[in-house]
Amino acid sequence: MKTKTPSKLEKILAAGHLAVTSECGPPRGSDIEVIKEKANLIKDYVDAINITDNQTSVTRMCSLAACIQLKLMGLEPVLQMVTRDRNRIALQSDILGAASFDIHNILCLSGDHQSFGDCPTGQNVHDIDSMQLIQTMRLMRDQAKFLGGDDIKRPPKMFVGAAANPFADPFEIRVPRLAKKIAAGVEFIQTQCIYNMEKFELWLKMAGDRGLLEKVYILAGVTPFKSAGMARYMKNRVPGIEVPDELVKRMADTPKEKQPEEGVKICIEQIQHLKEVEGVHGFHVMAIEWEEMVSEIVEKSGLYPRPSVE
Amino acid sequence: MIVADRKPIEEIIEEVKDHEKILILGCNECVTVCEAGGKKEVGVLASALRMYFLNQGREVKIDEKTLERQCDHEYLEEIRDVMDQYDSVVSLACGVGVQFMAEKYHDCPIYPGVDTCFLGATEKRGLWTERCQACGQCILARTGGICPVSRCAKRILNGPCGGSTNGKCEINKELDCAWQLIIDRLKALGKIDEYEKLSPLKDWSTERAGGPRKVVREDVQE
Amino acid sequence: MQYPPDIKIILVPCTGKIDVLHILHAFEKGADGVYAVGCMEGDCHYNSGNFRARKRVEQAQKILDIIGIGGERAQMYNLSSSEGPRFAQFAVEMEERIRKLGPNPIKLAKKKAA
């Protein structure tokens, strides 16, 4: 498959490999060493690294700055961009800023509501939504035009991604929603972390029936449980995540000191299973505050070493 | 209608504490319906203030009046003859009325007695909820009559976002997810295929962002 | 049946007729205490008049606290119409409460101003 951008992630996917991405949260300060450390832990095990954008509305160093740091380290960043905090001028502007450092991947998101974070009395912007951001990105890249109509000198060459959550409500529009994002111009999808294989595969099948799987690269999201408590928490307290009872039981039945190991084992099994599922083009490993496990997960899932592309 | 809520009495006391001749001015329309600034509320506030000042050892003149509206010149003119009796007015009208009063009665301090909240409807007595953000370009025809600008916390035009759970919004389990409502309604209308139509970028210039707005109808002007 | 002589009774068809304004005006005019006596909850002849009365008494209590008169001067009681002795008991209770609280501060303030 031909690639449209210099993105390493796109090249790996176009070559038919299973891609592996992971994510890092920037620090709540200006110390870039945090990013460098996290990136160094995982850099040989992933093809690209997402940098989150003020996730959960907690103010952190901006994704763009951290992505630039990754670029300076010779790594491949995925710029996450939420529409919560910036209007269309700032969004286009930051995209150009990223492009000036040859950042080639973007993930277009709405963003969690600011009431979850440290500035609940702040405004939110949502001048455009995540689908419109996808459209904007494609306009800037493929037609080299600003939203206002003027030409862009040295247009951004970014591989356009978005998130998808087969486990959010209502289920019946999850595939239409994927179709909408594809129509808007999305090229790769990272899903919310998957525990309910059945539902995920049903979603994939429904997408496949509509011919959508040929139009987009889907990276399956996985997150290892650190403990039985974490499994329970994610099951009961985090909206949009479904954890089957058997998995919680499996974690709970494991002695406490062995639970992290079991969680990683489950994650590896999930990846092994999903490797064989049609429509899955790779994995997005979200080991939140547990980045040191990414290497083991990738290795034991048979995804190491990472392919190199030109 | 415009929905407002009574300001705490302590706040109003703070506003008027240095005055001696106060008019409490109510409004017979929206704020009456939402029980924040009508004749009844004027009476309660006036009585409370009178007792407060008496208790402080001060005899403060506090009069009560309720106008039909405070957003039309003719009604505000009705009190022109008595305005010189007062050194301040607490207007229980919405923010519009307070400002119109202040513009008309230039030299008299006008204080707000309610917090103006939103454009909404009476779900039942004692419960008013927001429905409209006055964006200036109504898109209700496309969304089954449910507004994502006013009822989605992120005013997403191609929703729902990933936080929608069991038909409720991520910020509050009691808040309906506007997009769930839209989807349900499109289904009921047999129009669910329209869900996949991409909603274009909104022109916010007719909203607050474009600056204070006006509507002109030259055909009815004199 | 005996109850204190300084209680002025105002008859209403249902306590639901009592408005917050009536309670406030009573205090404005110098009453030391105001209480409403309604039917047992669930037995209101007009279904929910006594529930409304309770809410209005509570509203008045809040306002009276804020302006420094004291919300305990306003109270809501419930009884069934045949409970004469109970009526007297409430009257005694209210009278004791008000005696402890002292006269309505407004009365003193008005005297001073005069």
Domain range enclosing A38: 8-164
Q: What is the structure's pLDDT at C1?
A: 67
Q: CB C66 to CB B43 under 8 A?
A: no
Q: What is the structure's pLDDT at B213?
A: 96
**Average pLDDT of chain B to the nearest whole number:** 96
Structure tokens at C63: 């306002």
Give the span between the Cα atoms of A248 and A59, in whole angstroms.
32
Sheet containing B61-67: order of strands: B61-67, B21-27, B88-91, B110-112
In a domain, A85, yes or no: yes
B134 Rama class: left (phi>0) / alpha (psi -120 to 50) / beta? left
Residue A1 has pLDDT above 70, yes or no: no
What number is the average pLDDT over the span A139-154? 98
Give the span between the Cα atoms of A133 and A184, in whole angstroms.
9
Most C CBs within 10 A among B44, B50, B59, hence the mutation to make, goes to: B44
In a domain, A192, yes or no: no
CA B205 to chain A, closest CA, distance in angstroms equals 11
Helices and strands, counts by H and E, chain C: 4, 2
Using a CB-CB cut-off of 8 Å, the residues of chain A touching B204 are: 127
Express each pLDDT in B67-111 by its tens digit.
999 999 999 999 999 999 999 999 999 999 999 999 999 999 999
Give me the residues of B, 129-168, that contact A with CB < 8 A.
Answer: 153-167
Q: Is B37 on the interface with A (CB under 8 A)?
A: no
- How many structural domains comprise chain C? 1
* Residue ranges per structural domain of chain B: 2-118, 135-198
Structure tokens at C69: 């008169």
**Average pLDDT of chain A to the nearest whole number:** 95
Lowest mean pLDDT among A229-243, A291-305, B1-15, B201-215: A229-243
Q: What is the CATH number of the domain that holds A152?
A: 3.20.20.220
Task: Give the fold, CATH level 3, of B2-118.
Answer: Rossmann fold (3.40.50)
Residue B206: helix, strand or coil by DSSP?
Answer: helix
Structure tokens at A23: 């994510």
- How many structural domains comprise chain A? 1
- Read off the pLDDT band of C110 (50, 70, 90): confident
In a domain, A20, yes or no: yes
Express each pLDDT in C19-46 by its tens digit.
999 999 999 999 999 999 999 999 998 8
B160, B177 Cβ separation under 8 angstroms: yes
Q: What is the structure's pLDDT at A2?
A: 82
- Read off the pLDDT band of A111 (50, 70, 90): very high
**Average pLDDT of chain C to the nearest whole number:** 92
In a domain, C65, yes or no: yes
Give the span between the Cα atoms of C35 and C22, in whole angstroms.
11
In a domain, C1, yes or no: no
In a domain, C5, yes or no: no
Q: Shortest CA distance to A193 belongs to which of A286, A259, A96, A58?
A: A286
Residue A106 has pLDDT above 70, yes or no: yes
Q: CB A240 to CB B198 under 8 A?
A: no
Length of chain A: 310
Write down which chains contact chain C via at least 3 CB pairs under 8 A.
B
A110, A84 Cβ separation under 8 angstroms: yes
Q: Give the phi and the psi of residue B125 in degrees, each rounded to 5.
A: -60, 130
Q: Shortest CA distance to A127 belongs to which of C93, B209, B162, B214?
A: B209
In a domain, A263, yes or no: no
Q: Shortest CA distance to B192 belongs to which of B184, B203, B200, B204?
A: B184
A19, A282 Cβ separation under 8 angstroms: yes
Q: What is the structure's pLDDT at A152?
A: 98
Q: What is the structure's pLDDT at C66?
A: 96
Question: Which amino acid does the sequence have at A219?
Answer: L
Domain range enclosing C40: 15-113
Residue numbers of chain B with a pLDDT score lower than 70: none
Q: What sections of A23-172 are H helices per DSSP? A: 33-42, 63-72, 88-100, 130-142
Q: What is the structure's pLDDT at A211?
A: 96
Q: For residue A20, what are the β-bridge partners? A: A283
